Structure formats: C-alpha cells, structure tokens
Structure 1
Amino acid sequence: MISEDRQKLFAHLLVDGLWGDELIDFDEDAEDVVLREIRRVMGQWVNEQGDIEESVRQKIQNLKRDVPEGSSEYKILYKQYYAEEMARRGHK
C-alpha cells in the first residue's frame, strides 16, 4: 500500500515532469484539479493491485497441495496467476 503522502509526492512529480516537458498543458489555476485526479486514479490503481495480489494469493492457497510462500514453485505460480488476473481485468 502506498501512503497518502507518498501518493501526493508522486502526483506532484508526475505533474511537474509532464508539465515541465510540455507533454500536458493547463492553467495554473487547474493544478489542484489535475493533482486530485492523478491521486484518485493512483488510489484506484493501488486498490486494484491489492485486490489482484489477494486474489492470486488465495488461488495459490486453495491448491490441493501446499506451496510454501517464497519457494520457486510459488514464484512461478504467482507470476502465472498474476498475468491471468491482469488479463481477466483487461490489462496487458
């Protein structure tokens, strides 16, 4: 989970970088709106990643055999199930 302070920092860095490189353009009055939207989207992404990770862990735990967390088999299954879950949710 990313703290709210960290999300604010990332949002400011993103806006500063995009605006500084002239990849986006907006009135300075709109900066707060842009920052809020970036934080909102970032929050959604963080929540979705948490849901995906929980789903993947549950899938591994529900296997008939015990797969110790951190083992090479766990890592392989985690990567496979993570990719499947991302694809299921429409992400590449």
Structure 2
Amino acid sequence: MRISRDKLNKLAHVVADTLAETEECDFLEDRNTIRQEARKILEHLLMEELKIDKAAKQKIESQRRIILEGSQEWDILYRKYYNEEVKKLGI
C-alpha cells in the first residue's frame, strides 16, 4: 500500500501522541525522537508489505495460463500466496 509522506508523518504523530497519553508508558527520549522512530518502523513495515505484494503477484503471473487480475480466481490465489509470504516472514 502506498502512503504519502504526509500521511505517514501523521500516523507517526498519532502513535507518539497516543503513547504520551498512556500512563503505563514513560519516554526515555523526547517526543520528536519517538515520532521519528515510529515513522521509521512504519516505513519498514510498508516496504515489507510491498515485497509481499510483489511476490504474491509474481507467483500468479508465473502460472501456465493467464489469470486475469480482478477475477475471482486471481483474488483467491492472491490471498493464498500473500498469506504464504507472510508466514515465511513469521508474522
């Protein structure tokens, strides 16, 4: 999933703000450092998701016959291959 830089920053702000409001959470660093770290983690997760998506699509394209994207068969195979790739990562 593609997310704009602004939306990613907004998500990181929400994460940092939510953590700051949580009584069980104490910051050892300032809020901006926490926000930047949250942004890095979100970017990493999104990059991993793109790799999984690409691998699932490549498996579908490698089939002997052409399977049209958007068809029911394509959707089923995509979910199957996507889940297989997620399991490989241990998620």
| Length-normalised TM-score, structure 2 | 0.90
Query: What secondary structure does 1:70 align onto?
Result: coil
SS at match of 1:45: helix
In the other structure, the counterpart of 2:39 is 39
* Equivalent residue, structure 2, for 1:5: 6
Number of aligned positions between the proteins = 90
SS of the residue corresponding to residue 80 of structure 1 reads helix
Q: Which runs of 5+ in 2 are unaligned?
A: none
Distance 2:24 2:87 in 1: 29
Aligned to 1:86: 86
Q: CA deviation at 1:31?
A: 0.8
The one-letter code of the counterpart of 1:54 is: K
Work out whether residues 15 and 35 of structure 2, in 8 Å CA contact, stay in contact via their aligned partners in 1: no
Q: What is the aligned partner in structure 2 of residue 20 from structure 1?
A: 21
What is the identity percentage for the equivalent residue pairs of Structure 1 and Structure 2? 33
Task: Report the secondary structure of 2:30's partner residue.
Answer: helix
Following superposition, the deviation at residue 16 of structure 1 comes to 1.3
User: What is the CA-CA distance between 1:18 and the residue it aligns to?
Assistant: 2.5
Q: Which residue of 1 aligns with 2:70?
A: 70
TM-score normalised by structure 1 residue count = 0.90
Cα displacement (A) at 1:57: 0.5
How large is the Cα RMSD of the aligned pairs? 1.3
Instruction: Give the distance between the partners of 1:25 and 1:78, measured in 2 at CA.
Output: 41
Q: CA shift at 1:23, angstroms? A: 4.2
Give the match's secondary structure for 1:65.
coil
Rate the CA distance shift 1:82–1:23 in 2: closer, same or farther, 3 A. Answer: farther
Structure 1: gaps of 5 or more residues: none
Q: Equivalents in 2 of 1:66, 1:24: separation in Å?
A: 52
